[in-house]
Chains A and B, each alone.
Chain A
Amino acid sequence: MQAAVEIDQAVKRYGSITALHGVTLSIADNEFFTLLGPSGCGKTTLLRMIAGFEDVTAGEIRLFGQNIAALEPNLRPVNTVFQQYALFPHMTVLDNVAFGLKMKGQDVPTRRARAAQMLDMVHLSDFAARMPAQLSGGQQQRVALARALAPAPKVLLLDEPLSALDLKLRQAMRVELKQLQRDTGITFIFVTHDQEEALTMSDRIAVMSAGRIQQTGSPRDIYESPANRFVADFIGETNLLAVQVLSVTGGVAQVQVPGGQTLACPAPSAAATATPGAHHLSIRPEHISLVAPGSGIQAVVDRVVYLGTDLQIHTHLPGGAAFHLRLQNSARIAVPNPGDTVGLQLDEGAARLVAD
């Protein structure tokens, strides 16, 4: 099947500063694809290049096979939901939603009907005659969504559309957005710095940092098999330990953690072929359980933080490296006290070697 959007060695330079270093991506039709990364990683620049607001220094952007890198934004069959919505303040809600249809040359009855249908879809039928300034942030967000979807674009670009909403609304909109994407079958390219947003909605995620894509994969891949140290650290909580790889046999590596204890972990090919030496081990805090001292990895408890559903236990290894774990709160677990020595049992496959 042909990809909806293909980005081929896209480079963006502003004078001497390079914002994107030859990014290559392929986004399938009907996919909910997320560009995730900290601010300044180039994710918004990439989105704006797809929309046509930034020109492409080098490389190609193909939409269903057609190179659109040189097209004006108004000639690209993609629509954008802007971070601050960018609703036209001098037009009613209905006229805002109908604007794209008007530009496409549809007659008044057709575009009014379509705009009304779009407003109905985002539950704003009663607000058609209002001006944007008379709406709340959440309502404006829905209008922006309806406006971008009205011309039935092949690809919808969303630039952190939920970041201006409060938490409850944001969580509700996540579900709605995902539902909308499934119902319409439109390819969504969603930009966010919020990993929870990315994990809950996306079919696939590209994690970006410093103008490069660090890893592309499903939410599960990204979370459970981070490709490198940056991804492991950026997505969710983790323990990153500097380790020495002692040996690699049959896809299993023996590593030495700070303090001299050794343990076995799956070795990804990249790390396996590397010369034995300094590497990082990523261990998610929820993949660790407490056992009696003497078995597992020995650690000393520093403090216990009560989080309601969970308990967060901060410890340190004999070498001094900090290490924390998360236990589901339950009456059955014996809560250790600061100063206690405990044994840490890692789940099968929990420890992952990651490239730097």
Chain B
Amino acid sequence: MAGIAPQPPNTGADTGGDTTGYRSILAPLLAPTWGVIGVFLVLPVLLMLLYSFLTKEFRGGVDWQFSLAAYDQFFVTRGLFGDEPPQIEWTYIAIFWRSIWQAALATLLCLIIGFPTAWFIAARSPASRSLWLFAITIPYWVNLLIRTVSLKFLIRDNGPLNEAMLAIGVIDAPLTMINTNAAVMLGLFYSYLPFMVLPIYAAVERYNFTLSEAASDLYAPRWVVLREIVLPNVRAGLIAGCILVFVPSLGAFLAPDLLGGGKTFMIGSLIEEQFKGSLGNWPFGAATAMILMTLVMIVLLIYARVAAKDASR
């Protein structure tokens, strides 16, 4: 009953046993799938893994020399001049922690707004539902960069939002919205809200509303119906939505850079820096990306276990 569950790659092992003829044509038909997965997923990840264990070359690039320096730089410090006893390096862990915190807040915000939105859409008539879903997806026809820049324009000190609020007298002086944590949050929220709405919508749409009636018939007040009946039955959609928002928020760098003014340094920005210009450090960037990916994999594995438990009943 997962909304958007990670699908296992179709190897044909479960269907191919029927006839030998079927199996023989299956392999060439599946070749493009394997090609795409290999070239665009497995190969880049392996390259990243490889780079994270190489030596950095000044002005970017790598020396083909095995080294653990990148991971060492991430986790261990030996003082400013490298002559002190090794200690845990907190700088990058702090950036990770801040990013996780920021991403979690953005996810929570998306959840709080996204759940009622998805519920609202699912409660419409079937004809108007597709219209609402369409409306939700329209902004995503425009590139993320352009949308983020537009947002920056809207909330800057002399931007339309401040001008409008000044004009109707809500505020006396322009509110500083740009280059704040709140602005970053707004950017993340705006960027990823549909990823929350769509899987929750898919789950709510399949929810049997008679269950809510049955629960209230059995003396459950409204909030108990929500907690005991609705939420457990749309849980897979909620979890899918949270993951789809949390994971990209964790690695986001456009919103922190453009809306936070680079003040709040996040994982995405950290990684991006390592591959930019002469200050870059490719192995360190690759190692940071691998650590991030490991974290994300752990989250996804937890989700897969929950989804499997849901599906088994």
Cβ–Cβ contact A88 & B215, under 8 A: yes
Known: A84-B210, A133-B313. A90 touches B232 (CB 8 A): yes
List the one stretch of A74-82, A116-124, A193-201, A243-251 in contact with chain B: A74-82
- Is the CB of A72 closer than 8 A to any CB of chain B? yes
Picked from A73, A75, A131, A151, the residue with its CB within 8 Å of the CB of B213 is: A73
A347 to B42, CA, bound (A): 88
Q: Which residue of A lies closest to B212 (CB)?
A: A86
B217 CB to closest chain A CB (Å) equals 5
Cβ–Cβ contact B313 & A74, under 8 A: no
Cβ–Cβ contact A74 & B221, under 8 A: yes
A75 to B216, CA, bound (A): 8
Q: Which residue of A lies closest to B210 (CB)?
A: A86
B235 CB to closest chain A CB (Å) equals 8
Q: Which residue of A lies closest to B221 (CB)?
A: A74
Interface residues of B in 60-100 (CB under 8 A from A): none
A182 to B221, CA, bound (A): 31
A185 CB to closest chain B CB (Å) equals 21
A80 to B219, CA, bound (A): 11
Q: Which residue of A lies closest to B233 (CB)?
A: A90
Q: Which residue of A lies closest to B312 (CB)?
A: A131
Cβ–Cβ contact B210 & A147, under 8 A: no
A57 to B254, CA, bound (A): 54
Over the window 175-213 of chain B, the binary record of Cβ atoms lying under 8 Å from chain A Cβ atoms (1 yes, 0 no) is 000000000000000000000000000000000101101
A151 to B215, CA, bound (A): 13
- Is the CB of B214 closer than 8 A to any CB of chain A? yes
Picked from A52, A79, A131, A133, the residue with its CB within 8 Å of the CB of B218 is: A79
- Is the CB of B109 closer than 8 A to any CB of chain A? no
Picked from B208, B211, B216, the residue with its CB within 8 Å of the CB of A74 is: B216
B279 CB to closest chain A CB (Å) equals 53
Over the window 7-43 of chain A, the binary record of Cβ atoms lying under 8 Å from chain B Cβ atoms (1 yes, 0 no) is 0000000000000000000000000000000000000
Cβ–Cβ contact A89 & B213, under 8 A: no
Chain A residues with CB below 8 A from B233, complex form: 89-90
Chain A residues with CB below 8 A from B221, complex form: 72, 74
Cβ–Cβ contact B219 & A103, under 8 A: yes
Cβ–Cβ contact B214 & A88, under 8 A: yes
- Is the CB of A332 closer than 8 A to any CB of chain B? no
Chain A residues with CB below 8 A from B214, complex form: 80, 82, 86-88
A147 to B217, CA, bound (A): 11
- Is the CB of B270 closer than 8 A to any CB of chain A? no
Chain B residues with CB below 8 A from A75, complex form: 219
Known: A90-B232, A90-B313. A82 touches B219 (CB 8 A): no
- Is the CB of A219 closer than 8 A to any CB of chain B? no
Chain B residues with CB below 8 A from A80, complex form: 213-214, 217
Picked from A74, A84, A131, the residue with its CB within 8 Å of the CB of B217 is: A74
Known: A74-B221, A90-B233, A103-B224. A82 touches B210 (CB 8 A): yes
- Is the CB of B105 closer than 8 A to any CB of chain A? no
Cβ–Cβ contact A79 & B215, under 8 A: no
- Is the CB of A168 closer than 8 A to any CB of chain B? no
Chain B count of residues within 8 A CB distance of the other chain = 18
Over the window 49-87 of chain A, the binary record of Cβ atoms lying under 8 Å from chain B Cβ atoms (1 yes, 0 no) is 001110000000000000000001111001110101011
Cβ–Cβ contact A103 & B208, under 8 A: no
- Is the CB of A99 closer than 8 A to any CB of chain B? yes
Cβ–Cβ contact A131 & B224, under 8 A: no
Chain B residues with CB below 8 A from A133, complex form: 313
Interface residues of A in 129-155 (CB under 8 A from B): 131, 133, 147-148, 151
Chain A residues with CB below 8 A from B313, complex form: 89-90, 131, 133
A350 to B238, CA, bound (A): 65
- Is the CB of B229 closer than 8 A to any CB of chain A? yes
Cβ–Cβ contact B219 & A151, under 8 A: yes
Cβ–Cβ contact A73 & B229, under 8 A: no
Chain A residues with CB below 8 A from B224, complex form: 103
Chain B residues with CB below 8 A from A151, complex form: 218-219
- Is the CB of A100 closer than 8 A to any CB of chain B? yes
Q: Which residue of A lies closest to B229 (CB)?
A: A88
A79 to B220, CA, bound (A): 12
Picked from B208, B218, B222, B232, the residue with its CB within 8 Å of the CB of A99 is: B218
A87 to B221, CA, bound (A): 18
Chain A residues with CB below 8 A from B215, complex form: 88, 99
A51 to B212, CA, bound (A): 13
A103 to B221, CA, bound (A): 9
A147 to B211, CA, bound (A): 13
A160 to B301, CA, bound (A): 44
Known: A89-B233, A89-B313, A90-B232. A74 touches B213 (CB 8 A): no
Give the most central of B213, B218, B220: most A CB within 10 Å. B218
Known: A86-B208, A88-B211. A103 touches B220 (CB 8 A): yes
Cβ–Cβ contact A103 & B211, under 8 A: no
Interface residues of A in 207-256 (CB under 8 A from B): none
Cβ–Cβ contact A100 & B213, under 8 A: no
| Given A74-B219, A74-B220, A100-B219, 7 other A-B residues pairs in contact with their CB atoms under 8 A | A73-B216, A74-B218, A74-B222, A75-B219, A82-B213, A148-B217, A151-B219
Q: What are 19 A-B contacts with C-beta separation under 8 Å?
A: A72-B216, A72-B221, A72-B222, A73-B216, A74-B216, A74-B221, A75-B219, A80-B214, A84-B210, A86-B213, A87-B214, A88-B214, A99-B215, A103-B219, A103-B224, A104-B219, A131-B313, A147-B218, A151-B218
